[in-house]
Structure 1
Amino acid sequence: MSIFLHEHSKVIVQGLTGSEGTKHATKMLAAGTRIVGGVNARKAGQSVTINEQDLTVYGTVAEAMRDTGAEVTVIFVPPKFAKDAVIEAIDAGIGLAVVITEGIPVHDAAIMWAHACARGNHTRIIGPNCPGIISPGKSNAGIIPANITGGGRIGLVSKSGTLTYQMMYELRDIGFSTAIGIGGDPIIGTTHIDALQAFQDDPDTDVIVMIGEIGGDAEERAADYIRDHVSKPVVGYVAGFTAPEGKTMGHAGAIVSGSTGTAQAKKQALENAGVKVGKTPTETAE
């Protein structure tokens, strides 16, 4: 079993005809993902051949869902168009929207999330500015390399894309039920807590790895949730122990103010909840 994405998930790609969409759709298909079409209003009715598979390009998400039964969309749309693309997916009622695009204005992300809430949260948003989600050997929705690990019984949730990949590689001999990169922007759709809850409920996940980073209080809130609701073992890593205070580090959400949001404060909160926290990714894997 896996969370949010499985081997039968039917996937469309918004932005399939763009260079990034085509490149990563090729890799997703090679990983076994059931891609059933793409969306680009300007190229509706055309088809794209990838890995000897002809994929129809639809004018809207609603049309693609109607004709293919798609349940998941992966969005490779430039930042200035991303808000409209996500809102279109929400209005169509798709179950999962994986927003890879980085550089989406925070105001746009707030509108996207508010729209999803207003529509009853029928559409789960992963991202934006994230690597996506993979259930190794089953399906891959996003840009996570599929060849660095296999299936197993570890659940991984991470703010950082590259640290997602490193942890998957470090634990490749054990393998993962699902790995999900939630993104590091200030406003994201799926949180650490959402993933922790799903892994706790997944009978094929035995242990959870949680990767956070400096800035905000998401990890502290996740620690409270783990203490009260998670019975499975959790190990963690927090990026940014050497980051200077008051400086934005990489992700827009990684801003430290005084002692709030520091790696040490997050490490302490997690350890107080019974989470073993490594000082490096390798130590965390060990």
Structure 2
Amino acid sequence: MAIFLTKESKILVQGMTGAEGMKHTRRMLAAGTDVVGGVNPRKAGRTVDFDDRAVPVFGSVRAGMDATGADVTVVFVPPAFGKAAVMEAADAGIGLAVVVTEGIPVHDSVAFHAYAERHGTRVVGPNCPGLITPGQSNAGIIPADIAKPGRVGLVSKSGTLTYQLMYELRDIGFSTCVGIGGDPVVGTTHIDCLAAFEADPDTELIVLIGEIGGDAEERAADYVKESVSKPVVAYIAGFTAPEGRTMGHAGAIVSGSSGTAQAKKAALEAVGVRVGGTPTETAELVLERLAGPARGRG
């Protein structure tokens, strides 16, 4: 199986006719993703040719859903239009909105996350690489050629580290990989993904990638202790980050002892999660754990 995204998913791309939207729509189609339309009010009624497939452009998410049965949208619009794009998708009743756009103001993210939740739309992102269920569907910018179907579930704040762990574990493969994004406010959390992977019969082990800043990993550790029976292996980026400096992501900032990699590692290890010192060591821990008992974190 998979979480959030399957071969049955029908995908719209908001901003498909822009440069990034065009590039990544072509990559998603090449991976076998069922991209059924783009959304651009100024270009409604046109089609865009992607190699051997012509994809229609609709004037709204609602129109695209009505015409195609789409249940997922991937958002590539500029930051200033991110809030409106997600709210439009939520108004239309889409089930999943994957917001790749970087640089959306935090107050806009807070507003559209709350709005989407009220309308029953799951948001992944913003500022995220999206998610991929290898061999089935790819919604976002994750390279499909480093993933194959397998038994590991991956949830990560970092896009680059998502790719690296996928490459390190390419011979094992993944049920689903979810890049939740590194902004201070994101729609889908580590805990959401832990719960979904725990319920997925085809996910045998979960890899959690975090980074400095905030307390998401500590909260995930509490959730693992109470609600996760499957083995969890983690990696935390930022052990050498200087205090007070933002490291790449808007949410990756340490203030005093709060949000440090050491504190997050300690919280996870206290509940039986093994934490690697590097991505390669983390992959080795995964292989070691898969070679042992299939259940339990001990």
* TM-score class, shorter: over 0.9
Q: Contact conserved, 2:86 with 2:116, CA < 8 A, in 1? A: no
The equivalent of 1:198 in structure 2 is 196
**Percent of aligned pairs sharing the same letter:** 70
The equivalent of 1:145 in structure 2 is 143
Structure 2: distance between partners of 1:143 and 1:200: 25
- The Cα offsets for residues 259-279 of structure 1, whole Å up to 9 and x where unpaired, read as 110000000000001100001
Q: Contact conserved, 2:82 with 2:104, CA < 8 A, in 1? A: yes
Q: Contact conserved, 1:136 with 1:176, CA < 8 A, in 2? A: yes
The equivalent of 2:122 in structure 1 is 124
* Correspondences of 1:40-55 after superposition (within 5 Å): 40-55=40-55
The equivalent of 2:281 in structure 1 is 283
Secondary structure of the corresponding residue to residue 16 of structure 1: coil
* Correspondences of 1:242-253 after superposition (within 5 Å): 242-253=240-251
Shift in Å at residue 8 of structure 1? 1.0
Secondary structure of the corresponding residue to residue 133 of structure 1: strand
- The Cα offsets for residues 82-113 of structure 1, whole Å up to 9 and x where unpaired, read as 11001000100000000000000001101111
Secondary structure of the corresponding residue to residue 147 of structure 1: helix
The equivalent of 2:61 in structure 1 is 61
Q: Contact conserved, 1:29 with 1:51, CA < 8 A, in 2? A: no
Query: TM-score, structure 2 length as denominator?
Result: 0.95
Aligned residue pairs, count: 284
Q: Which portions of structure 1, spanning 4 or more consecutive aligned residues, are displaced by more than 4 angstroms?
A: none
Are 2:234 and 1:258 equivalent residues in the alignment?
A: no
Secondary structure of the corresponding residue to residue 193 of structure 1: helix
Aligned alpha-carbon RMSD (Å): 0.6
The equivalent of 1:108 in structure 2 is 108
The equivalent of 2:296 in structure 1 is none
Structure 1: distance between partners of 2:70 and 2:51: 19
Structure 2: distance between partners of 1:113 and 1:263: 27
Are 2:30 and 1:30 equivalent residues in the alignment?
A: yes
Q: Contact conserved, 1:124 with 1:189, CA < 8 A, in 2? A: yes
Counterpart residue type for residue 238 of structure 1: I
* Correspondences of 1:77-96 after superposition (within 5 Å): 77-96=77-96
The equivalent of 2:210 in structure 1 is 212
Structure 1: distance between partners of 2:140 and 2:195: 22
The equivalent of 1:71 in structure 2 is 71
Where does structure 2 lack aligned partners over 5 or more consecutive residues?
285-298
Are 2:166 and 1:168 equivalent residues in the alignment?
A: yes
The equivalent of 2:232 in structure 1 is 234
The equivalent of 2:271 in structure 1 is 273
Secondary structure of the corresponding residue to residue 153 of structure 2: strand
Secondary structure of the corresponding residue to residue 114 of structure 1: helix
Shift in Å at residue 77 of structure 1? 0.3
Counterpart residue type for residue 180 of structure 1: V
Counterpart residue type for residue 114 of structure 2: A
Shift in Å at residue 246 of structure 1? 1.0
Counterpart residue type for residue 281 of structure 1: P
Shift in Å at residue 54 of structure 1? 1.1
Where does structure 1 lack aligned partners over 5 or more consecutive residues?
none
Counterpart residue type for residue 218 of structure 1: A
Match of 2:178 among 177, 180, 190: 180
